[in-house]
Amino acid sequence: MSAILKGKKGDQRLFMGNEAIARGALEAGVNVVAGYPGTPSSEIIESLSRVAKDRDIYVEWSVNEKVAAEVAAAGSLAGLRSMCTMKMNGVHVASDFLLHLALTGTRGGMVIVACDDPNAHSSQNEAEMRHFAQMLEIPLLEPGSFQDAKDLIKWAFELSEELRSIVFIRGTTRLSHASGQVVLDELPETERKAAFRHDGFILDQMTGSVISLPIAFKHPQLQEKLQKAAERYEGCPFNSYTGPENPDVLIITSSACTFYSIEAVHMLDLQNRAGILKLTTTWPLPKRLIKKHLQTAGQILVVEEVLPFMEENLKVLAYEIASEIGIKPILGKRDGTLPSHGEMRPDVVAGALAGITGTSVDQRSEEYEKKVNERVFFGAPARDLTFCPGCPHRASLWSIENVLQMDNRQGFVCGDVGCYTMGLSPSNFGTLKTAHSMGSGTGLASGFGKLDRFGMEQPVLSVCGDSTFFHTGIPALVNAVHHGSNMIMVVLDNSGTAMTGFQPHPGIEKNAMGDVAKSIDIAKVCEAIGAKVRVEDPFEVEATQEALFQLLEEEGAKVLVLKQVCALSPEKKWSKKFEMSVDTELCIGEECGCNRLCTRIFRCPGLVWDQESKTARIDSILCTGCGVCASICPANAIRKTPLAANGKEVA
Amino acid sequence: MQVFGPNELLADVLKKDLCIGCGACTEICPYFKSYKGRTSMLFSCTRQEGRCHAHCPKAEVDLDELSSFMFGKAYEGSPLGSYQSVVISKAGPEMIPGNFQSGGTVSALMTHALMERQIDAAVLTDWKGLIPVPELITEPGDVTRFASSKYVTAPTVSMFNKSKQLGYKRVGIVGTPCQLTAIAKIRTNPLDREDFEDTAGLTVGLFCTWTLDARDLLKYLSARIDVEKIKKLDIPPPPAEVLTVTTVDDEIELPLSEIRPMIPRACSVCPDMTAEWADVSVGGLEGSPGWNTLIIRTQKGAELISKAEASGFLVTDKMPKESFEHLSMAAGNKKARAFRQAMEDGCLNNKDDGHAALRVSPTILKEMNIESGEDNVGDT
Ligand SMILES: Cc1cc2nc3c(=O)[nH]c(=O)nc-3n(C[C@H](O)[C@H](O)[C@H](O)COP(=O)(O)OP(=O)(O)OC[C@H]3O[C@@H](n4cnc5c(N)ncnc54)[C@H](O)[C@@H]3O)c2cc1C
Ligand code: SF4
Ligand code: SF4
């Protein structure tokens, strides 16, 4: 049985934040779940997809976040409880639809869980989703513990059904990916039946047609809902205060910052002077609750990630009630007490708190200090971002780089979002020159490919993963083909959404729940769009380069699909196609004629430079037996011996 | 000769637009590659010394050293370089006819050398759709396939490098002066490698005033004619001022004023018009399209010519005095122009840590009325 199903009411279990959210959804009786993979949100749907059959729910990885929101909304409009998950970028993708959904309203409860990635550990930005709640005028909740992460889901569904509005829940990396103890509740039997009513009066949200017009009616209705939410937030059981009755410093915090604030207060031993108001209902703010706490406090410190979202709204509120409670100093990011970028940390909060209270933050023992200094002195080995051993992206980018350099016209590649984004780094040949949002590499290439009339003679390429192709790559390609843009879109098809953990996508013959699904052939789609298409295996280095050279000769928008399964894919892992070895007699190593091409430039971690013998060798543990290095060695020193599926040498 | 590494080659030659695309730095390592008439560096290489730099005809070419290697004496700066004799020639009655550029001397000599097994392979240059393609051949009957001049930058030397890898020991090569400068540098074993072998069995030079960038020419001509139909390009002697293009259908003339901008910058610092580092050098003969000018430089060259004549592959005659004077003047002018340009560009005789494209004795410069290169100090 899957982890999130085990245990009965009252049992305590260790859950990752995302698992707690998934369990919370089940306890809330969710029926429909849709999302698009994206760190740090992916495990919510992964956990739910594994129990879909058991719990009789519908779970899908949608083609992109906008479609995911639409699929979830359909569930809600048919009277079911639905949930939609995504990372923060996804909210931007889905926002056009959500803008209208906010106005039309929902029927069955609909909760959107969007996870931010402060510090951009697994992203290319650290943007926030919270401002969308404000822009779309829908309520927002931010769980501040693992227990809350679970229990809040049910509360959010109830709120959504009371207001007939979407409810946003914001996760962050540390809340989603850290684990904590969670007490279980029961899993209900849900018997909701789906039916979409459309025969009622047009202005009746529950039975009429679903449309955001007339605005003169729908917009005020939406704002009323928001006011109602603020009212409900006053008594929200997930807001709590700990600390003295009249704290010198009142910390107002939310989400994972709650942990850091608690830790900081303990680090400085300020339990008697500092209080913590853990706020879960961060938009719209509950006015009376805030007023009650501001009144009692000397100074206020707002601790949140990343931008001063709560701080600014608090300041607006404080201004409105200043005549009643006086002017309270509210510190945070706007005055520079805390940074407005990056992840929050206990030591950062402690530093700010120490400054405000005049206490000292330096609590490190001498021994600790000594150890740190020692480690710093010897230094940690430098490790740069690199592709896994046997990664098809290394082979693909290698070929692209070789071809573009040989072509010698300053050709360049517009990058996209996936593991291959690492191709921006010099240790991965630095082949990619741009990286923005999903699908945008091909869109940019479509634009660059039209600039020949202004004298641009550089060849233009884009790379795009298979999942990204379906997500937003297709419209960009349609644009390029339609406008006759001179470009090559290289689809790096590694048969799965590899970067986020192998979620299926429309090109795969299986859906999130493990059922057989119709797979969509990327090459055929491109052909149907009207592009000239070539399909190659990137491990066949020569053929791949030949194909690229040929496509560079042709006018218009072209597609090269480089198809090879990810080295970490479950189907490939532990199976070697070749046993690799280096003939040390032939290896010329650092000499003129090679200068360690394999270990210095190609840099597959499966290849190691042997300082003593001054030759390359294969690390047979790391090597995945893809065989690519044999085709790049200028001395033909790298040998490949074919292995049968059972790992034995082929006779 | 001073030898540096790939980074110096990149900085001093490729980045300064002095590369002539001869291919001498390619087919020896994975870092330099030739594609469509241009040479590029694919990835960074950290070696302090490399064959890429050592072979390059545009980096640290010490003319005294080349001269003493080829002829056992210092470089004299004479217009035609060192030679035994200058005659006129054309393919003899035994030679198969072909689409020769002029008299077919080159094709005849290569055919003969392969037949006599004086060389075990030959590096010749063809083109496909105006993109140069050097090839390695071993059959005498294949030589005529390469007849006619491809007026473009060609990576001919890359095929010589490849022939070494393939194990050929006596390779004949036909090349322009820059290509043969590279071959001469290669033959001096510039890196003092113990396993070095001189595999150049015969070097036949082509006269050259300048060449054209292959990609530029392709772009220019393909906008005007079907390049697949081109049979021959020719630059008739002054005052014609045209490039004639013979296609399967007709012949057209294009003004040199439109062609000259396609001359690579590297040609402006080339002091060699008559391929001075060859066994024999061959050019056209003004006013006699069916004949060649033939300069016999080395003993090996002289022996080849007499054998080729004896076996009916070659016919020679006396060089008319007026033509000789013309040739000398043209060659002398090119030399002086190149030294002046190199001086101006700061790549002649650089001192101290400076990297030069060319090194030539200051006495010779003085004799040619060119200020000595003492001003070029440091890396400019
Ligand atoms: C770029 C270039 C510029 C020249 N400029 C002059 C000049 O200014 N004055 C002058 O008198 N003669 C010049 N020549 C030489 C002349 O055009 C003839 O090549 C020469 O007279 C030999 O004629 P042929 O009939 O014996 O040659 P063919 O028997 O027709 O044989 C031609 C040979 O040239 C080789 N070849 C052709 N193109 C190239 C190339 N790009 N690189 C290396 N090898 C090549 C082929 O391999 C072939 O073997 C030039 C040649 C070239 C390639
Ligand atoms: S690429 Fe080949 S020759 Fe070069 S170091 Fe690696 S194994 Fe040795
Ligand atoms: S001139 Fe020849 S050797 Fe020099 S960089 Fe160019 S191709 Fe290489």
Nearest to A408 among B29, B40, B46 (CB): B40
- Sheet strands (E) in B286-375: 292-296, 314-318, 358-359
Model pLDDT for residues A144-191, shown as the tens digit of each residue: 999 999 999 999 999 999 999 999 999 999 999 999 999 999 999 878
Burial (CB count <10 Å: 0-12, 13-18, 19+), residue B238: exposed
Q: What length does chain A have?
A: 651
Asked if the Cβ–Cβ distance from A593 to B51 is below 8 Å, we say yes
Backbone angles phi, psi at B212, to 5 degrees: -125, 150
Nearest CA to B23 out of B152, B128, B120, B145 is that of B152
Distance of CA B96 to the CA centre of its chain: 25
Could you identify the atom of ligand 3 that is nearest to the CA of residue B21? 7
Q: Are strands A110-116 and A167-172 parallel, antiparallel or unpaired?
A: parallel
Q: Name residue A621's amino acid.
A: I
Cis peptide before A306 (omega within 30 of 0): yes
Residue of A595, A599, A628 to mutate, testing the B interface (most B Cβ within 10 Å of its Cβ): A595
pLDDT at B373 over 70: no
Residues B206 and B308 in one domain: yes
Residues A431 and A515 in one domain: yes
Residues B220 and B324 in one domain: no
In a domain, B378, yes or no: no
In a domain, B94, yes or no: yes
Backbone angles phi, psi at B122, to 5 degrees: -135, 140
In a domain, B221, yes or no: yes
Residues B241 and B272 in one domain: no
Cβ B146 under 6 angstroms from ligand 1: yes
- Bridge partners, A241 (sequence order): A277
Residue of A401, A406, A603, A633 to mutate, testing the B interface (most B Cβ within 10 Å of its Cβ): A406
Residue pair B269/B341 in contact by the 8 Å Cβ criterion: yes
pLDDT band at B378 (very low <50, low <70, confident <90, very high): very low
Check residue A363 and give its pLDDT.
Answer: 60
Domain range for B226 is 214-262
Residues B246 and B324 in one domain: no
Cβ B357 under 6 angstroms from ligand 3: no
Asked if the Cβ–Cβ distance from B191 to A594 is below 8 Å, we say no
Kindly provide the ipTM of the predicted complex, given to two decimals. Answer: 0.92
Tell me the CA–centroid distance for residue B56 and ligand 3, in Å: 5
Query: Minimum-distance ligand to the CA of A589?
Result: 2
In a domain, B232, yes or no: yes
Token pair in block for residue A621: 């543990």
Check residue B372 and give its pLDDT.
Answer: 55
Q: What length does chain B have?
A: 380
List C-alpha distances in Å: B359 to A76, A283, B69, B265, B274: 83, 77, 15, 18, 19
Residues B160 and B255 in one domain: no
Q: Which residue of A has its CA nearest to B193?
A: A592
In a domain, B23, yes or no: yes
Model pLDDT for residues B138-192, shown as the tens digit of each residue: 999 999 999 999 999 999 999 999 999 999 999 999 999 999 999 999 999 999 9
Residues B152 and B75 in one domain: yes
Residues A597 and A536 in one domain: no
Q: Are strands A432-434 and B38-41 parallel, antiparallel or unpaired?
A: unpaired
Collect all residues with Cβ–Cβ distance below 8 Å to B166 and sequence separation of at least 6.
Answer: B136
Model pLDDT for residues B221-258, shown as the tens digit of each residue: 999 999 999 999 999 888 889 999 999 999 999 999 99
In a domain, B372, yes or no: no
CA–CA gap between residue B197 and residue B55 (Å, rounded): 15
Residues 377-436 of A with CB under 8 A from B: 401-402, 405-408, 429
Backbone angles phi, psi at A435, to 5 degrees: -155, 120
Instruction: Spell out, as residue ranges, where chain A has pLDDT lower than 50.
Output: none
What is the nearest CA distance from B81 to chain A, expressed in angstroms? 33
Cβ B144 under 6 angstroms from ligand 1: no
Residues A83 and A7 in one domain: yes
Collect all residues with Cβ–Cβ distance below 8 Å to A39 and sequence separation of at least 6.
Answer: A87, A115, A117, A121, A122, A123, A173, A499, A500
List C-alpha distances in Å: A251 to A258, A301, A344, B150: 9, 5, 14, 80
Residues B232 and B168 in one domain: no
CATH number at residue B245: 3.10.450
Cβ B154 under 6 angstroms from ligand 1: yes
- Dihedral of the alpha carbons of A441, A444, A446, A450, in degrees to the nearest 10: -150
Residues B194 and B280 in one domain: yes
Q: Are strands A249-253 and A299-303 parallel, antiparallel or unpaired?
A: parallel
Asked if the Cβ–Cβ distance from A407 to B49 is below 8 Å, we say no
Residues B308 and B251 in one domain: no
Residues A590 and A479 in one domain: no
Residues B232 and B294 in one domain: no
**Domain stop point among B196, B229, B262:** B262
Residue pair A281/A310 in contact by the 8 Å Cβ criterion: no
Asked if the Cβ–Cβ distance from B35 to A595 is below 8 Å, we say no
Alpha helices in A530-588 (DSSP H): 541-553
Residues A258 and A343 in one domain: yes
Backbone angles phi, psi at A471, to 5 degrees: -60, -60
**Domain stop point among A357, A377, A404:** A357
Residues A473 and A324 in one domain: no
Residues A226 and A250 in one domain: no
pLDDT at B63 over 80: yes
Q: Is A429 helix (H, G, I), strand (E, B) or coil?
A: coil
Total number of domains in chain A: 4
**Domain stop point among A233, A263, A278:** A233
Asked if the Cβ–Cβ distance from B51 to A408 is below 8 Å, we say no
CATH number at residue A136: 3.40.50.970
Residue pair A256/A145 in contact by the 8 Å Cβ criterion: no
DSSP string, B143-176: GGGG-S---B---HHHHHHHHHHTT-SSEEEEE-
Nearest CA to A596 out of A566, A632, A625, A560 is that of A632
Collect all residues with Cβ–Cβ distance below 8 Å to A403 and sequence separation of at least 6.
Answer: A545, A548, A549, A552
Token pair in block for residue A409: 């016209």
In a domain, B373, yes or no: no
Nearest CA to A310 out of A341, A332, A336 is that of A332
- Sheet strands (E) in A209-267: 240-242, 249-253
CATH number at residue A326: 3.40.50.920
Largest CA distance in chain A: 90
In a domain, A85, yes or no: yes
Token pair in block for residue A145: 């513990």
Residue pair B244/B253 in contact by the 8 Å Cβ criterion: yes
Report the run of H or E that residue A278 belongs to, with start and end: strand A274-278
**Domain stop point among B200, B233, B262:** B262
Residues A136 and A215 in one domain: yes
List C-alpha distances in Å: B102 to B86, B105, B254, B308: 17, 8, 20, 18
Residues A336 and A351 in one domain: yes
Residue pair A443/A479 in contact by the 8 Å Cβ criterion: yes
In a domain, A382, yes or no: no
Asked if the Cβ–Cβ distance from A632 to B30 is below 8 Å, we say yes
**Domain stop point among A182, A214, A233:** A233
Q: Are strands A615-618 and A607-610 parallel, antiparallel or unpaired?
A: antiparallel
Pocket test for ligand 3, best of B14, B20, B159 (most atoms within 8 A of CB): B20
Check residue A97 and give its pLDDT.
Answer: 98
Residue pair B181/B57 in contact by the 8 Å Cβ criterion: yes
Residues B235 and B328 in one domain: no
List C-alpha distances in Å: B234 to A163, B241, B284, B353, B378: 86, 11, 10, 43, 42
Check residue A382 and give its pLDDT.
Answer: 72
Radius of gyration of chain B (CA): 20
**Domain stop point among B232, B262, B292:** B262
pLDDT at B45 over 50: yes
Inter-chain contacts counted by CB atoms under 8 A, chains A and B: 47
Total number of domains in chain B: 2
Residues A224 and A246 in one domain: no
Report the run of H or E that residue A560 belongs to, with start and end: strand A557-563
Model pLDDT for residues A591-638, shown as the tens digit of each residue: 999 999 999 999 999 999 999 999 999 999 999 999 999 999 999 999
Token pair in block for residue A120: 């951009």
Report the run of H or E that residue A535 belongs to, with start and end: strand A532-536
Backbone angles phi, psi at B293, to 5 degrees: -90, 135
Pocket test for ligand 1, best of B80, B89, B101, B150 (most atoms within 8 A of CB): B101
Tell me the CA–centroid distance for residue B283 and ligand 1, in Å: 7
CA–CA gap between residue A380 and residue A309 (Å, rounded): 37
Residues B274 and B149 in one domain: yes
Domain range for A479 is 392-563
Check residue B379 and give its pLDDT.
Answer: 40
CA–CA gap between residue A574 and residue B20 (Å, rounded): 50
CATH number at residue A593: 3.30.70.20
Cβ B100 under 6 angstroms from ligand 1: yes
In a domain, B290, yes or no: yes
Nearest CA to B319 out of B366, B346, B284 is that of B284
Residues A537 and A407 in one domain: yes
Residues A104 and A195 in one domain: yes
Check residue B30 and give its pLDDT.
Answer: 97
Report the run of H or E that residue A97 belongs to, with start and end: helix A88-104
